[in-house]
Structures are given as C-alpha cells and as structure tokens.
Amino acid sequence: MTNQYSQTQAEPVKSKLIELLDEVLLHDGFGEIRVEVKILKRQQKEVILHCGKQYRFVVDATSTHPGN
C-alpha cells in the first residue's frame, strides 16, 4: 500500500518530466532538462525540473522509498 502511495505522490513529477522530454525531442534544436532535488523539513523533498522554466513539486520523502 505504501508503494501505491509513493507512486501517487511522485506521479505529477514523472508526468511533467515525460512531457518535457517529449517537447525537447520534438524541438528542432538543442534542449536541456535538469532535475534538482532539495530536502525540506517535515520529511518532504522539493523536486525542481529546469527546462526553460522551473517546475516545482513537493513530495513526501518517506513515500519515495518503494521498500517502505
């Protein structure tokens, strides 16, 4: 059950990353995607996707471990 929760928490991040990858692959020129993860208080992580703009997400850090 925790594994399903972790997938739910990370799903918006994964979805946006795939969307950005598709955009970069369709672009006629150079593209760059960078992923930054910061540890926050209260057992959370901030995930920042850089691709021309910044897309910010906050996920529970305890839910990101599939073994929990």
Do the Cβ atoms of 49 and 12 come closer than 8 Å? no
What is the arithmetic mean of pLDDT over 62-66?
A: 55
Round the CA-based radius of gyration of the chain to a whole number and report it: 14
pLDDT of residue 42: 87
Residue for token digits 């970069």? 24
Q: How far apart are CA 66 and CA 34, in angstroms?
A: 23
Whether 62 shows a pLDDT value over 80: the answer reads no
Q: How many CB atoms lie within 10 A of CB 19?
A: 13
pLDDT digits (tens, 9 = 90+) for 5-59: 456 889 999 999 999 999 999 999 999 999 999 999 888 999 999 999 999 999 9
